[in-house]
């Protein structure tokens, strides 16, 4: 047998083993995520809060988060930017983490009834006034061409 075919068979075997390992690892992570979702739904409570400020920032740069939160987050997530909300809950100003979808529709300087699970905002129940949905962002060629035409017409 030629060395080329031997190398190709070895690479194919390694790829198959890696795919099988990723399948079982992904299944395990999905099961863990489902358990955490159920626990978050059990712990959820409705709270009236006023959003003071919202930003996307790294967890290590956020002031006001307990040390336990930083210790429990995986190291790869500490460097990623997460949606952080500073809100007035009763007489206290608290730093809360937020879901991506909720972060987009959460209005600034407005009183909101939100579903909170620990330090994590999972949903918005009601807002005084109208709930404004953000416009979906255009992606792809159409968006690029439209921006190019817009910049040329000015």
pLDDT of residue 74: 85
- Indicate whether 35 belongs to any domain: no
Interacting residues of 91 by C-beta distance below 8 A, sequence separation 6+: none
Question: Which residues are CB-neighbours of 127 under 8 A, at least 6 positions away?
Answer: 107, 110, 111, 112, 113
The CATH number linked to 81 is 2.40.50.660
Q: How confident is the model at residue 138 (pLDDT cuts 50, 70, 90)?
A: low
Residue 88 counted as domain residue: yes
pLDDT at residue 83, as a whole number: 95
| In-domain check, residue 141 | no
Instruction: Using pLDDT thresholds of 50, 70 and 90, give the confidence band for residue 55.
Output: very high
* 24-42 residue pLDDT tens: 999 999 999 999 999 999 9
Total count of domains within the chain = 1
Classify residue 121 by burial, with Cβ atoms within 10 Å: 0-12, 13-18, 19+. Answer: buried
Domain that holds residue 95: 42-127
Answer yes or no: is 18 within a domain. Answer: no
Backbone angles phi, psi at 87, to 5 degrees: -135, 150
């Amino acid at each position: 047998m030629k060395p080329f075919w031997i190398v190709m068979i070895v690479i194919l075997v390694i790829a198959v083993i890696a795919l099988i390992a990723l399948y079982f690892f992904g299944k395990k992570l999905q099961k863990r995520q489902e358990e955490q979702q159920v626990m978050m739904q059990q712990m959820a409570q409705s709270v009236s809060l006023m959003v003071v400020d919202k930003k996307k920032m790294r967890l290590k740069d956020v002031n006001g988060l307990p040390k336990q939160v930083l210790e429990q987050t995986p190291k790869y997530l500490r460097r990623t930017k997460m949606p952080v909300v500073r809100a007035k809950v009763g007489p206290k100003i608290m730093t809360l983490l937020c879901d991506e979808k909720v972060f987009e529709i959460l209005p600034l300087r407005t009183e909101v009834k939100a579903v909170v699970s620990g330090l994590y905002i999972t949903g918005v129940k009601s807002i005084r006034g109208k709930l404004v949905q953000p416009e979906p962002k255009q992606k792809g060629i159409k968006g690029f061409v439209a921006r190019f035409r817009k910049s040329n017409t000015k």
